[in-house]
Amino acid sequence: MAVEPLWKPRVKPEHAAYRTVDGNIRIGSVVFGIGAEIKDPDGWLWTLTSGADGSRTVDALVRHVLSGHPQLRPAHVRDALDQLADAGFLENAAAGRPPTLSPREAERYSRGVPLLRWMDLSPRASAWEAQARLKEATVLLIGLGGVGGVAAQALVASGVGHLHCVDSDVVALSNLNRQVLYRESDLGAGKVPAALAHLRALNSDVTVTGAETRVSSADELAHLLADPPAGAPYDALLLCADQPPDIRRWANAVCRARGVPWVDGGYRGPLITAGVYSPGRGACWECLRAGEFDRRDLRLAPGQDESPASPRMPWNPVNAVTAGVAGSLMAHAALALLTGIPPTEPGFRFGLNLMALDDVTYSRFPPRADCPVCGTGAAG
């Protein structure tokens, strides 16, 4: 990694190293997907990792290791240090907070930044860089129901710089079993003005705007994406609405045309999922949907109606848990797209089944050449 003028390597506190009974080094915590185990037959890597405590410059740390292991060359130590940094296990103890973040924001996000640091596997000098990136981000959120309300709360609390919310409904009593953004005092009010009041009260350090409008066509969605309220282009779209029925198809095409990453999500009874897409990276929504249809086996006779196998009701059974989990998964996916933490390769759907918690949903398919949106024969 590129070394700053003053670089004091420190193993991230969440990644603290320890020695196993056989003399290996485990670093990065025992969480799957983060930790690593390193063979250290001569013991000098342990001297390096334990000495990388933020008190020494690179040169001083190299001298510290060589003092106990004179058989080594400085280049060997520096190469090992670079590998630890490139793997995301180190930070620069001398790196300060970015000037774009105020002391008040530093205190507000002081518990979230360590989580970003824990999940970050990139050669980043300071976890505050990711928080500063969130502050610069502008996100469009469509649909302020149960899923969208929770996603909006999570993004605002996490410090996304500008959130623009779109919905056309009013708050009804039947909403309140799962739309936890609202209160009984909001009954009869438009969801957008009620949501803006609550979100602004949650975090006055972010900008929250809204529009009371219904997205009724792909052209209307394209206009929304092309006309952000603050002028800066949108960094992501969260599609939390499921009506009109074609709205996901519109989002897929419009986001591809404008190069905007996007997330969709929701619930079907106890099944909760979110999808993550980014133009030019992995399968688009159409590709993923086609792959899922090809894979499923409903055991129906040729021409038999599929509706009994996938019943539709006037409304989708839901409570605060299913809506809240879906909104939280969508917010997590959006934060990953915006910061790169955790590293995420778009073009997949993930989730869980509350009836069987060991039934984890993960679908990923390659882009399809015959896809009408991103395939080789697609327009644009």
Structural domain contains residue 4:
no
Examine the domain organization and report whether 58 and 182 are in the same domain.
Answer: no
Examine the domain organization and report whether 173 and 288 are in the same domain.
Answer: yes
82 exposure class (CB count in 10 Å sphere: 0-12, 13-18, 19+): middle
Please state, in angstroms and as integers, the Cα–Cα distance from residue 221 to each residue in 236, 237, 254, 258, 287, following that order.
13, 11, 7, 11, 21
- Which is nearest to 148 in space by CA: 280, 331, 321? 331
CATH code (residue 251): 3.40.50.720
357 exposure class (CB count in 10 Å sphere: 0-12, 13-18, 19+): exposed
Examine the domain organization and report whether 225 and 329 are in the same domain.
Answer: yes
Query: What is the domain count for the chain?
Result: 2
47-91: pLDDT as tens digits: 999 999 999 999 999 999 999 999 999 999 999 999 999 999 999
Structural domain contains residue 2:
no
C-beta atoms surrounding 335 within 10 Å? 27
Q: Is the pLDDT of residue 237 over 80?
A: yes
Examine the domain organization and report whether 158 and 58 are in the same domain.
Answer: no
Helix (H) or strand (E) holding 54: none
CATH code (residue 38): 3.90.930.60
What is the pTM (predicted TM-score) of this model? 0.93
312-366: pLDDT as tens digits: 777 789 999 999 999 999 999 999 999 999 999 999 999 999 999 999 999 999 9
Structural domain contains residue 342:
yes
Structural domain contains residue 122:
no
160-212: pLDDT as tens digits: 999 999 999 999 999 999 999 999 999 999 999 999 999 999 999 999 999 99
- Which is nearest to 283 in space by CA: 363, 379, 352, 339? 363
Examine the domain organization and report whether 345 and 286 are in the same domain.
Answer: yes
* CA dihedral of 68, 73, 79, 85, whole degrees rounded to 10: 20
Examine the domain organization and report whether 238 and 349 are in the same domain.
Answer: yes
Helix (H) or strand (E) holding 264: strand 262-268
- Which is nearest to 57 in space by CA: 127, 129, 4? 4
Structural domain contains residue 72:
yes
Task: Give the number of C-alpha atoms closer than 13 A to the C-alpha of residue 151, restricted to the C-beta side.
Answer: 35
pLDDT band at 377 (very low <50, low <70, confident <90, very high): low
The helix/strand/coil state of 235 is coil
Structural domain contains residue 261:
yes
Examine the domain organization and report whether 288 and 148 are in the same domain.
Answer: yes
Examine the domain organization and report whether 216 and 357 are in the same domain.
Answer: yes
| Percent of the residues in the chain that have a pLDDT greater than 90, as a whole number | 87
Examine the domain organization and report whether 196 and 76 are in the same domain.
Answer: no
Distance of alpha carbon 345 from alpha carbon 322, whole angstroms? 25
Structural domain contains residue 131:
no
Average per-residue pLDDT for the chain: 94
Examine the domain organization and report whether 203 and 291 are in the same domain.
Answer: yes
276-297: pLDDT as tens digits: 999 999 999 999 999 988 888 7
Structural domain contains residue 272:
yes
Q: Is the pLDDT of residue 4 over 70?
A: no
pLDDT of residue 311: 67
What residue type is 225 in one-letter code? L
Distance of alpha carbon 304 from alpha carbon 250, whole angstroms? 29
Strand-pair partners of 170: 190
145 exposure class (CB count in 10 Å sphere: 0-12, 13-18, 19+): buried
Q: Which domain holds residue 16?
A: 9-92
Please state, in angstroms and as integers, the Cα–Cα distance from residue 166 to each residue in 111, 158, 190, 221, 236, following that order.
30, 20, 11, 11, 14
